[in-house]
Amino acid sequence: MQGRGRGEDMQQGAQARFEAGLLRKILVVPVDGSHWVNMEILLKHLHYRGHQLTVIRSKSSWYIQESTPHYTSINVKLMEDEVDLSFYEKLLQRTLDIRRKGPVLQFLHQQMEMSSMQMLGHGICAKMAALMLNNSVLMTQLKDVQFDLVLTDPGLPIGVLLAHYLHLPMVYNVRWINTGDGHFIIAPSPISFVPVTGSMLGDRMEFLQRVQNLLHYVMGFLQEHFIILPLYQELISRHFSPATDLLSMQRSADLWLMRADFVFEFPRPTMPNVVYVAGFQCRPAQPLPADLEKFMQSSGEHGVVLMSLGTLISALPMEITERIAAAFARLPQNVIWRYMGEKPSTLGNNTLLVDWLPQNDLLGHPKTRVFVAHGGTNGLYEAIYHGVPVLGLPLLFDQFDNVLRLQARGAARALEVATLSTEEVLEALQDLLENPSYRSSMERLSRLHRDWPLSPLDSATFWIEYVIRNKGTAHLRSEAYSLPWYSYHSLDVVTLLLVVIGIFLWAIVYVCRKLCHRTCQKNKSKRD
């Protein structure tokens, strides 16, 4: 290998590798929505490497197509059969209401909202998983294929349960699991400098912020142990060893392909079986369709502002949309806005509304000046890759934390969508457009993000094949979680030592007092 990267090997034809018996059968259990966007790119790459992919999906899936040239699919009942995308519009409305409240009420409401979402989501997921595992025809069919690996997004645990049921090595394409950042399940996460998902805190915390972080941690712990895990316990005790639970199954993945990069994420402890592959969906910009290119060029020296709110939310409430449109109308820049609602009355001539946009190619266009984004990680890594500063309009989930990370590096501004005004949007946009520090910060992040010995996509592929080749990664899994929590934290050992020290001190005091007493008595008897 010396003096020669694995990259070259990647370019060998699939045919040669097929003949060498290197091509494998992979069972893929994705999470629908924005998570599918990058899973699909990984699957195309694995297909290009010649592997056979089988994807588990719902026939009512939001984004995951029935069998394509890249994979065959198996339809089962999943969450998408009970929930449609309008769920997120309602969730957004409730979140905006919550964010108009003061900090204490906001915290409490946010936790209640999280709890009820988890109860709903994991409730459906556990029901669907039970249906699947009880379906002996399906299970036999899956067993008979003799897969080599399960590749899953553990945001919902159906893939985890399937991998254990089929006794297969398991690789995660992961960002979130149970109540937040996947690291919290696998790596030590001292909450003194590791902010909890949803806390909207950085890694440099004052005392009160650390208190806040602990409260977030405790709430997450309670939700995990008292809401999520019990939902799966009946199913697990029926199909698996009764001594096990979902958490230990989730921890036992062979490899975590973590969609994170410390260019963006605050530095934190990690484990040897975590590989960082953030931004593997990013690629150099391709030429735009002619009409879009013409619109870009018509912006002249001012350039273009790009706005998109991701895959789950098609439009904001009308009054907020009107305010944003009014701010855009006052810019000298052109604006391209992915928007699917009613046309706002304040829309300027400079603003082009589109149903869909080639986001990566637009972000890589030299005329693009600022990206107005909801702060999903896919979009933010694309912005980092192409070095475009961000105006964050975070709406849901981790988006607030994500935008905060770019702000902490001087590469973004953020606005509170629930309360924003036209003036605020305009001021923030002008600041981002006129102050060169945002772009230079983002370009620095871009340089660092692209400075890898192996691209994130090649890295992801290499490690997936590594797990298949070596039939798992037992040698990379730590003994940490075979211990009960009090042993993990050495509380039993420290207690023993404190007792021993206590007895020792007590013995010294006892002997001293006895000696003292005897001496006193002797002296007394002498005096007598």
Instruction: Give the interface with a second copy as residue ranges (CB under 8 A).
Output: 1-8, 10-11, 187-188, 190-193, 203-204, 207, 210-211, 214, 262-263, 266-273, 276, 283, 409, 447-448, 450-455, 457-459, 462, 466, 469-470, 475-480, 482-483, 487-490, 492-494, 496-497
Outline where DSSP puts E strands in 149-261. Answer: 149-152, 170-174, 176-177, 180-181, 255-258
Structural contact between residues 386 and 283, judged by C-beta atoms closer than 8 angstroms:
no
Alpha helices in 290-398 (DSSP H): 290-297, 318-329, 359-363, 377-386
Angle, alpha carbons 86-92-93 (nearest 5°): 95
Indicate the length of the chain as a whole number.
Answer: 528
DSSP 266: P
Residues contacting residue 163 through CB under 8 Å, at least 6 positions apart? 27, 150, 152, 169, 170
Q: Which of 291, 331, 281 is nearest to 311 (CA)?
A: 281
CA 98 to CA 108: how far, in whole Å? 9
Residues contacting residue 200 through CB under 8 Å, at least 6 positions apart? 400, 401, 404
Question: Hey, what amino acid is at 411?
Answer: A
CA 340 to CA 318: how far, in whole Å? 12
β-strand 412-414 against 52-57: which pairing, if any?
A: unpaired
Alpha helices in 100-201 (DSSP H): 103-134, 136-145, 158-165, 183-186
3-class SS of residue 404 = helix
CA 130 to CA 125: how far, in whole Å? 9
Tokens of 220: 């997450």
CA 273 to CA 252: how far, in whole Å? 10
Structural contact between residues 335 and 307, judged by C-beta atoms closer than 8 angstroms:
yes
CA 378 to CA 507: how far, in whole Å? 64
